[in-house]
Amino acid sequence: MFPLQRGRRLRTNESIRSLVRETSLSPSDFMFPMFIAEGENVKVEIPSMPGIFRRSIDLTVEEVKELFELGIRAVNIYVKVSENLKDNTGKEAWNPNGLMQNTIRAIKAACPEMIVMPDVALDPYSIYGHDGIITNGDVENDSTNDALVKMAVSHAEAGADFVAPSDMMDGRVLRLRQGLDAAGFHNVGIMSYSAKYASAFYGPFRDALDSAPRESDVVVPKDKKTYQMDYANRIEAIKEALWDVEEGADMVMVKPGIAYLDIVREVKNAVNVPVTVYHVSGEYAMIKAAAERGWLDNDQIMMEQLMCIKRAGASLISTYFAKEAAILLNKK
């Protein structure tokens, strides 16, 4: 009679496996990160991210319409601004006619139901490639928060549904919530990058936006480790997420994804708001590179990783695979 319990009975065929499957994916689980460039009819592939492009606003709008038809309901947008617009204040970030603001307006005009979550951080606008204002050789926390509030309010004025602070300044969620409310944007949400680690997985993203820390004739931090988290730490991630919820975050994010699924589960267990996971550029690039060499099956690895992120506790997955995965899911 041994054994009485046989787990394989529930794995006999795909029909049975589908009946007892604990986790599922749908296109509405995904958010697509998009890179925006100046100009018209511009579509430039990012060399380290095959299949991902910097697009001008007109082509971005067309892509957003396709994403919505596939069932994707959110986009996270980032801009590559001209060098002549960069300085140490980040003032271009709250230009009402800036690239980000014009992109938000264009997307919402063309596809009003698409949820738009613009990035809130100064690194695309900084001559030093940092997420904040450099003062006395370091990123100055509180003056950066003041700048981020101006940036977020300008996004809300342009029509953003959520703002997505990725800077990791202390107290910025509270300042953003206060600033948005004071400007009358009580219904604009905050998706906070709460546990954003100082990770080497971000390399291709920084290539896409030219947002890596730069050498300079003034003293600046050589990396982002004074504000992004130490990847050796777990309890700190829970603390950061709880602080952000207390300060008014509507969603919290863990970034990167696959290498940090223990953190995803810890944060999910600790907070009572949706948890977003950013499946980042380096994770995407590794799969693409291995698939190009025939070492891995792109589609199988893609779907396995996305399912594992969802299983770990993600309510929403920001991923460069969003369109590919949605197409596959819609074929089933």
Q: From the candidates 255, 288, 310, 323, which is the catalytic residue?
A: 255
**Relative orientation angle of helices 172-182 and 235-247, to the nearest 10 degrees:** 20
The verdict on whether 255 is a catalytic residue reads: yes
ω into residue 96 within 30 of 0, thus cis?
Answer: no
Using DSSP's 3-state secondary structure scheme, residue 198 falls into coil
Secondary structure E strands in the chain: 30-36, 43-45, 53-55, 74-79, 115-120, 133-135, 138-140, 162-165, 189-196, 251-255, 275-279, 316-319
- Phi, psi torsion values for 114, nearest 5 degrees: -70, 130
| 240 marked ligand binding residue | yes
Neighbours of 81 (CB within 10 A): 21
The verdict on whether 91 is a catalytic residue reads: no
Using DSSP's 3-state secondary structure scheme, residue 207 falls into helix
Beta-ladder partners of 44: 54
- Phi, psi torsion values for 307, nearest 5 degrees: -65, -40
Q: From the candidates 196, 268, 310, 323, which is the catalytic residue?
A: 196
Integer Cα distance of 274 and 21 in angstroms: 22
Beta-ladder partners of 32: 75
**Alpha-carbon distance values, 271 to 113, 191, 237 (Å):** 27, 13, 11
Q: What is the DSSP letter of 229?
A: B
- Residue ranges of the binding site for Mg(2+): 240
Q: Which residues are catalytic?
A: 196, 255
